[in-house]
Amino acid sequence: MDFTLKARGVIDGIAEGEALVCPESIQGWAGVSDTTGKIIERGHSQEGQCIDGRILVLPCSKGSNGWSCHFHSAMRAGFKPAGWLFTKIDSRAGVAAVIIGVPAIADFEEADPCEVIKTGDWLKIDGATGIVEVTRKNG
Amino acid sequence: MVKLTDYEQRMLNGEFGEFKQIALQRIYDYAKVLGAEELCEVKKATLYLGAHPYLETAGSDDYDTIFSKMYLCSDKTIPLGEMADCCCCQTCVAPCDQYQWEPLHLSKEFFDRNRKYLELTRDAGVSITGSCTPYLVGWIPLKGEHFVTTESSNGLMCNSVFGACGNSDGIEAAAWSAICGRTPKWGLHVPENRYGTVIFNIECPAETAVDWDVIGYTIGLKLPPHGVPVLQGNFPYPDIVRLKQFFAALATTSGAEMCHIVGFTPEAPDLKTALGGKEPKAVITITGEDYRQSFDMLCDKSEKPINIVTLGCPHYTLEEIRKAALYIKGKTFAPGIDFAIWTDYATREMANQNGYLEIVEKAGGQILTSGCPLVIGPKCFEHAVGFASDGAKQAHYIRSELPAGTPVYYGDMFKCIDAAVRGSWKEV
């Protein structure tokens, strides 16, 4: 483990997985495919990546009040993140966190996880304590 | 810790039935996630109901099962109950026209299923409206009134222009709120969170509906996460048509839920008041060059054949339909073009009474209701060779839905109508 971050635990539980960092967030409509769990937002930095089993690292939600329902639909089809980190919670992200139910941490004040965590880093997150353990992909 | 009133506690204990109990349980969980300390009473709701394509992953045709899984988020099937007495509920957009299925390349079976679902929720207390601009048909939460909505641009309009209070929540949470009559008292439901935080100096064209569409798109691209924009500049105040374009585009490229226009919107009589007396977190200028860059993102630089032309994202007002009809009069659309103006069915009937519908139909087009290609899904646009729209929101999202390389064009209604007549897009 290389470093830790601490913020507000939002949904209890422990999750581990590879970070998928989206500093531009993911749009609520035509952002995640309902049937494949892949990011379909045209021109997105992680276009084509599947959210399944990843720890999604997002600054916030964006675009469309349908944000939660497409993550929800993808979960029903068998694809869901292992956990979430939100730099700061917002209403759309809050609804998605409740519905998906996987461990979630939000409201980071000391460092922005979208800046200090890189896609591919291995994360262990504890939604009860709000602690994120980060292991760098490359040493 | 979320503090509940006696009434809310009784609902949570199941005194008013399982349907309301689970809805309030979800709202309670949502409040905890947000860090809210209490709930507030919701007076108005628009809900995303009907046979929407994303519901298919529920793997059932039984509506109680679908509603339980996809709205209540419960694997146990709970029969549909009633919406809260305190809340005026109506439907947002639907995945089919109110009357027709053939022009949308949908089946009668799908039309019937959608209709059946909407009738079931109507009997539960949600009137069928089929509008993404509910303020055009009388659903208007006023100053201080708490609302929920499933249409992001409507949320921006209600918060920013009417002074009502609502967050963007989501499809499921809007349903929970409509059922139990409560939402977390958090975010824009709390006065101190409504102040502007980022100043935007508008130095680009700001005259037409397309200008405001592109300004909204551009501000959304530049807005820092969680920012509340405050617009200022030497521009004429926008009307409701310009504002609906502006808010739809702003809510496409950002998560904005509230926006002030200095000297114009009710919570921004002057810059200092709009900012709540605080320093802005950023000051950003939108230049003509920014405008051009956004426009280029929305409209392909080519002149290729098109076969789908969509006007009315967000839904057209009667006046927009009149303008379009007057321009269409005497013209004929090219063979094989799906030309549609989208609105709600009340406005369509007014267009019918005024003769505008006849003009559009005579040219070979349609005035369709309750949805749009994006909402209806791939069946209505999978045959696209090229797609043109006068809505930035439509032009933006459709790119992710169409096969890569399918041309997408964006321009005002006149340019789109000309393209439909010609069967291809032209820059000038």
Please judge whether B167 and A91 are an interchain contact, meaning their C-beta atoms are less than 8 angstroms apart: yes
> Is residue B137 exposed (0-12), middle (13-18) or buried (19+ Cβ within 10 Å)?
middle
Q: Supply the residues of A annotated as catalytic.
A: 64
**Where are the strands (E) in chain A, listed by range?**
3-6, 8-11, 14-21, 55-58, 83-86, 104-106, 122-126, 131-135
Q: What is the pLDDT of residues A21-33, one digit of tens each?
A: 999 999 988 899 9
Considering only the beta carbons, identify the residue of B34, B57, B253 that sits closest to A76.
Answer: B57
Distances from the Cα of A131 to the Cα of A3, A7, A11, B1, B8, angstroms: 10, 7, 12, 21, 33
pLDDT at A7 over 80: yes
Cα separation, A71 vs A76, in Å, equals 9
| Vertex A93: Cα angle to B132 and B160 (nearest 5) | 45
Interface contact flag, B255 A77, Cβ < 8 Å: no
Q: What ipTM was reported for this prediction?
A: 0.95
Residue in B with minimal Cα distance to A61: B255
Task: Look up residue A72 and give its two tokens.
Answer: 């929800």
Are B402 and B384 a contacting pair, CB within 8 Å? yes
Q: Which residues of A touch B29 (CB under 8 A)?
A: 98
Closest by Cβ to A95, choosing from B69, B173, B404: B173
Closest by CA to A127, choosing from A90, A99, A101, A89, is: A101
Task: Give CA angle at B314 (B312, B315), nearest 5°.
Answer: 55
pLDDT over 90 (residue A63) = no
- Asked if A34's CB is within 8 angstroms of B172's CB, the reply is no
Nearest to B371 by CA among B152, B98, B188, B110: B98
Mean pLDDT by 10 residues, chain B (428 residues): 97 98 98 97 98 94 97 97 97 97 96 98 98 97 98 98 97 98 98 98 98 98 96 97 98 96 98 98 98 98 98 98 98 98 98 98 98 95 97 96 95 98 94
- How many helices (H) and strands (E) chain A has is answered by 3, 8
> Å from A12 to nearest chain B CA?
10
Domain boundaries, chain A: 3-135
| Interface contact flag, B57 A77, Cβ < 8 Å | yes
Name the residue facing B255 among A30, A61, A66 (closest C-beta). Answer: A61
Do you know the residue count of chain B? 428
Chain A contacts of B73, Cβ < 8 Å? 72, 98-99
Q: Which of B56, B171, B400 has its CB closest to that of A66? A: B171
Listed in order, the ranges of chain B carrying CATH 3.30.499.10 are 299-422
Q: Which of A8, A65, A97 sits opposite B169 (nearest CB)?
A: A65
Coil/strand/helix, residue B169: coil
Interface touch B150/A34, C-beta < 8 Å: no
Tell me if A28 and B73 make a contact (CB, 8 A cut-off).
no
**CB of A8 less than 8 A from some CB of B:** yes
Quick check: A99 and B400 CB within 8 A? Answer: no
Residue in the structure block whose two tokens are 């000038």 = B428
Contact list in B for residue A87 (CB cut-off 8 A) is: 225
Is the Cβ of A80 closer than 8 Å to some Cβ of chain B? Answer: no
Best mutation target among B27, B32, B56, B57 (most A Cβ atoms within 10 Å) is: B57
Which residue of chain B has the CA closest to A23? B225
**pLDDT averaged over every residue in chain A:** 95
Chain A residue with CA closest to B251: the answer is: A63
A8, A30, A88 member nearest B397 (Cβ): A30
Q: Is A22 on the interface with B (CB under 8 A)?
A: no
Partners of B57 on chain A (C-beta within 8 Å) are: 34-35, 73-74, 76-77
CA distance B131 to B344: 5
Residue A33 sits at the chain B interface (C-beta within 8 Å): no
Q: What is the C-alpha separation between B161 and B155, in angstroms, rounded?
A: 10
How does pLDDT run across A64-116, given as a tens digit for each residue? 888 999 999 999 999 999 999 999 999 999 999 999 999 999 999 999 999 99
Q: What confidence score (pLDDT) does residue B85 get?
A: 96
Instruction: Please list every residue in chain A whose beta carbon sits closer than 8 Å to the beta carbon of residue B53.
Output: 34
pLDDT above 70 for A139: no
Query: Which of chain B's residues have a Cβ under 8 Å away from the Cβ of A34?
Result: 53-54, 56-57
Check whether A43 has a pLDDT greater than 80: yes
Tell me the CB-side half-sphere exposure of residue A123, using CA atoms within 13 A: 35
User: Would the CB atoms of B255 and A92 count as touching at under 8 Å?
Assistant: yes
How near does any CA of chain B get to the CA of A121, in Å? 23
Instruction: Please give the pLDDT value at position A138.
Output: 76
Does domain A3-135 fall into CATH 3.50.30.10? Answer: yes
Residue B302: how many other CB atoms lie within 10 Å:
11
Taking contacts as CB-CB distances below 8 angstroms, the residues of chain A near B148 are none
CATH for the stretch B299-422: 3.30.499.10
CA-nearest residue to A127 within chain B is B33
Tell me the count of A-B CB pairs closer than 8 A.
Answer: 135
Q: Under CATH, which architecture does the B6-191 domain have?
A: 2-Layer Sandwich (3.30)
